[in-house]
Amino acid sequence: MNYKFIIQYDGTKYSGWQKQGNTSKTIQGKLEAVLTQLAGESVEVHGSGRTDAGVHAYGQVANAHFDTMYSCEQIRDLMNKYLPQDIAVLEVTKAHYRFHSQLNAKSKTYCYRIYNGPVRDVFTRNYTCHIEEELDVAAMRKAAALLEGTHDFTSFCGNRRFKKSPVRTITQICVEQKEKGLELWFTGDGFLQNMVRIMTGTMVEVGLGKRPADSMTEILEAKDRSAAGAMMPAQGLTLVSVAYKS
Amino acid sequence: MNYKFIIQYDGTKYSGWQKQGNTSKTIQGKLEAVLTQLAGESVEVHGSGRTDAGVHAYGQVANAHFDTMYSCEQIRDLMNKYLPQDIAVLEVTKAHYRFHSQLNAKSKTYCYRIYNGPVRDVFTRNYTCHIEEELDVAAMRKAAALLEGTHDFTSFCGNRRFKKSPVRTITQICVEQKEKGLELWFTGDGFLQNMVRIMTGTMVEVGLGKRPADSMTEILEAKDRSAAGAMMPAQGLTLVSVAYKS
């Protein structure tokens, strides 16, 4: 049976989604350990995509093939019982045997949170990036609009050795003003490595008056990482949801 | 000079407000260490009251007498620079030399947060108590109303050797229904040790149908800790604000 999972995690203490030498520090490693125990066979978990060290997920999607006599709800409850407190399985459903969380993903939504003010907020310190200076939200929105659409995002890719197509379609970037900061929402068919954090960093430089909003067009045309701004820290980023063809 | 501080902290990693043998694990200890460094003399910090291990503060108030050439804003910024990330000073002001954060406090507001649902929420796990079962909010509101007013709260006091007057006035208890849980707001002229957590625990038992709402009257009259319900865990509790006579 192929199971589909919706997973939430606080990425603060992990070295990211993808398992590495030391799987005990990755989300994928934690999930596989619990499912292997539950199924009594070695289980491999496929995620919709990697998240970097320190990045969070509100609705990461994964799938895994294994057999068990437990119901979906029992699998969910057992996983939550044995997973650490900073990872939770929100939903387990039976999927078509060919369903693949990464290959079938149609679009993804990320949110980057900025806490704005003179003093840090202790309760959201692991889920926001703190910027003390005021930000020009109107200019950031203008920059955001220029990044929407289908573009070659090489300038916003953190992996200089990336060999596949760097063309992606961003359907929407919303800059939302909150009581104590900003939320930048990105929806697109896919994102290159560090792309959301580099786009946010470049838009923050626009918000701080360090570069004009309309420079986004030149940055895209440059197809050169050094044309864009600095990458924002991981802790402000959350993978909110992954959409599939229904 | 007597300085007044408004302080925010995530109490997760601390053994509470009040300094003990090992001051490195208390909020008071951390504040005194930073202020002693800043003032170049031994500084004692007085809080509006103790918070237990694991309890948070959104607006704890404290005061301390010392002399410095720094402005209030500079003191705030320096403290925030040297304090750990889970403690923040929101405001520093000059106070009357006789101002005492505990003795002059007129009322305090606490909030107890309950996350309600089948699966825990990883992002609020340190700031809420997770209850899976449904709660009867109407019954809890009825119980809350019976606890408002001036009463002998011995039944809700966690300290069996408490020798001062156990009479307190609760001006308001609000049970707010949130998207994914409840917030219980308590305002009163003062609270006995563990009182908010024991009142919340007793009201939760009402919400779960384990005791009737109108049993609050008998519990108050019993003046016996064993008449009330269980104490809720610390992590759901936040000291929101402290009010003073203006």
Contact assignment for A120 to B80 by CB distance below 8 Å = yes
The pLDDT of residue A23 is 62
Per-residue pLDDT of B96-151, as tens digits, reads: 999 999 999 999 999 999 999 999 999 999 999 999 999 999 999 999 999 999 99
Q: Which of residues 96-135 of B touch A (CB under 8 A)?
A: 118-123, 125, 127
Q: Can you tell me the mean pLDDT for B222-237?
A: 97
Question: In this structure, what token pair is assigned to residue A132?
Answer: 């003390």
**B13 lies within 8 A of chain A by CB:** no
Environment class of A72 (CB within 10 Å of its CB; exposed 0-12, middle 13-18, buried 19+): middle
The pLDDT of residue B59 is 97
**Mean pLDDT estimate for chain B:** 95
The pLDDT of residue A20 is 80
Chain A partners of B88 at a C-beta cutoff of 8 Å?
A: 119-122
What is the rounded CA–CA span in Å between residue B66 and residue B82?
18
User: Which long-range CB contacts under 8 A does A77-81 form with residues at least 24 apart?
Assistant: A77/B118, A78/A34, A78/A38, A79/A31, A79/A34, A79/A35, A79/A38, A80/B119, A80/B120
Tell me which residue in B9, B86, B119 faces A88 most closely, judged by beta carbons: B119
- Catalytic-labelled residue, pool A10, A52, A121, A224: A52
**A83 lies within 8 A of chain B by CB:** no
pLDDT at A26 exceeding the cut of 80: yes
What is the rounded CA–CA span in Å between residue A239 and residue B42?
47
The DSSP output letter for B48 is S
**A85 lies within 8 A of chain B by CB:** yes
State how far the alpha carbon of B144 is from the alpha carbons of A163, B173, B184, B185, in Å.
Answer: 63, 6, 9, 10
Environment class of B40 (CB within 10 Å of its CB; exposed 0-12, middle 13-18, buried 19+): exposed
The pLDDT of residue A21 is 74
pTM score, two decimals? 0.91
The DSSP output letter for B95 is E
Contact assignment for B119 to A80 by CB distance below 8 Å = yes
Chain B partners of A86 at a C-beta cutoff of 8 Å?
A: 122, 125
ipTM tops 0.90? no
Best of A9, A123, A125, A179 to disrupt the B interface (most B CBs within 10 Å) is A123
How many contacts, defined by CB atoms under 8 Å, are there between A and B? 52
Those residues whose C-beta lies under 8 Å from the C-beta of residue B233, and which sit 6 or more positions away, are B54, B129, B197
**Mean pLDDT estimate for chain A:** 95
Contact assignment for B120 to A85 by CB distance below 8 Å = yes
From A85, which residue of chain B is nearest by alpha-carbon distance? B122
CA of A137 vs chain B CAs: smallest distance (Å): 24
What is the rounded CA–CA span in Å between residue A1 and residue A70?
12
Higher pLDDT, A23 or A67: A67
Q: Can you tell me the mean pLDDT for B233-241?
A: 97
CA of A42 vs chain B CAs: smallest distance (Å): 25
Contact assignment for A125 to B87 by CB distance below 8 Å = no
pLDDT bracket for residue B22 (50, 70, 90): low
Cβ distance A74 to A205 under 8 Å? no
pLDDT at A202 exceeding the cut of 80: yes
pLDDT at B23 exceeding the cut of 80: no
Total residues found in chain A within this entry? 246
CA of B7 vs chain A CAs: smallest distance (Å): 10
Per-residue pLDDT of A142-177, as tens digits, reads: 999 999 999 999 999 998 887 889 999 999 999 999
CA of B184 vs chain A CAs: smallest distance (Å): 19
The pLDDT of residue B13 is 95
Per-residue pLDDT of A77-88, as tens digits, reads: 999 999 999 999
Contact assignment for B8 to A121 by CB distance below 8 Å = yes
Instruction: Produce one character per residue of B185-214: b if its CB has 16 or more CB atoms within 10 Å, e if not.
Output: ebbbebbbbbbbbbbbbbbbbbbbeebebe
What is the rounded CA–CA span in Å between residue B10 and residue A77?
29
Q: Are strands B181-188 and B167-178 parallel, antiparallel or unpaired?
A: antiparallel
Decide if B189 is catalytic: no
Contact assignment for B85 to A10 by CB distance below 8 Å = no
Q: Can you tell me the mean pLDDT for B50-64?
A: 96
User: Residues of chain A with pLDDT > 90: what percent?
Assistant: 93
Up-side HSE of residue B168: CA atoms within 13 Å toward CB?
26
Q: Can you tell me the mean pLDDT for A94-113?
A: 96
pLDDT at A102 exceeding the cut of 70: yes
The pLDDT of residue A245 is 84
The DSSP output letter for B143 is H
pLDDT at B162 exceeding the cut of 70: yes
Question: In this structure, what token pair is assigned to residue B23?
Answer: 């001051």
Total residues found in chain B within this entry? 246
What is the rounded CA–CA span in Å between residue B4 and residue A229?
41
